[in-house]
């Protein structure tokens, strides 16, 4: 399987997990609780882990830097897709979501969509690199025969 296909498939899975989670929060009326938004971190770690495992198993690729790039690329693409989803959501479905963000203690007041996009991009890229680095500490000495996709 090509590396770009591994990255795209797992980035879409991360996005689907995050979008589904936020939709469930909206349906249950929990979208105004900012602390719950941090649980999307679980989907990011899962997707990066799955991408690295897939690359090790299908491509027999055990080089640290290659797998680090697979994990980082997967997460950065998922951040980009998620930001696109947020733009569509705020622009066409629920423009008041910016007000929900303003009322949380994390963002502050006087938010605009471009400011939120910029902040999410910076945070997303930083967390992408961090998550990939953390997972690669586990995989740096991993043996090929131990890898099973989950």
3-class SS at 111?
coil
**Cβ neighbours for 130, distance < 8 A, ≥ 6 positions apart:** none
The answer to whether residues 30 and 36 touch, using CB atoms and an 8 Å cutoff, is yes
Check pLDDT > 80 for residue 55.
yes
The answer to whether residues 136 and 71 touch, using CB atoms and an 8 Å cutoff, is yes
| HSE of 138, CA atoms in CB hemisphere, 13 A | 13
Provide the pLDDT for residue 148: 53
* Model pTM score: 0.86
Mean pLDDT of the chain: 87
Provide the pLDDT for residue 105: 57
**Cβ neighbours for 37, distance < 8 A, ≥ 6 positions apart:** 22
């Amino acid at each position: 399987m090509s590396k770009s296909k591994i990255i795209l498939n797992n980035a879409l899975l991360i996005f689907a997990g995050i979008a589904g989670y936020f939709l469930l929060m909206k349906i249950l009326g929990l979208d105004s609780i900012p602390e719950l938004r941090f649980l999307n971190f679980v989907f990011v770690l899962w997707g990066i882990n799955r991408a690295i495992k897939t690359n090790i198993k299908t491509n027999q690729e055990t080089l640290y830097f290659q797998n680090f790039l697979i994990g980082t690329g997967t997460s950065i693409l998922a951040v980009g897709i998620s930001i696109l989803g947020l733009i569509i959501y705020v622009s066409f479905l629920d423009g008041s979501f910016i007000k929900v963000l303003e009322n949380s203690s994390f963002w502050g007041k006087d938010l605009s969509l471009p400011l939120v996009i910029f902040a999410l991009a910076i945070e997303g890229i930083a967390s992408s690199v961090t998550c990939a680095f953390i997972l690669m500490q586990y995989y740096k000495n991993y043996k090929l025969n131990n890898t099973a996709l989950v």
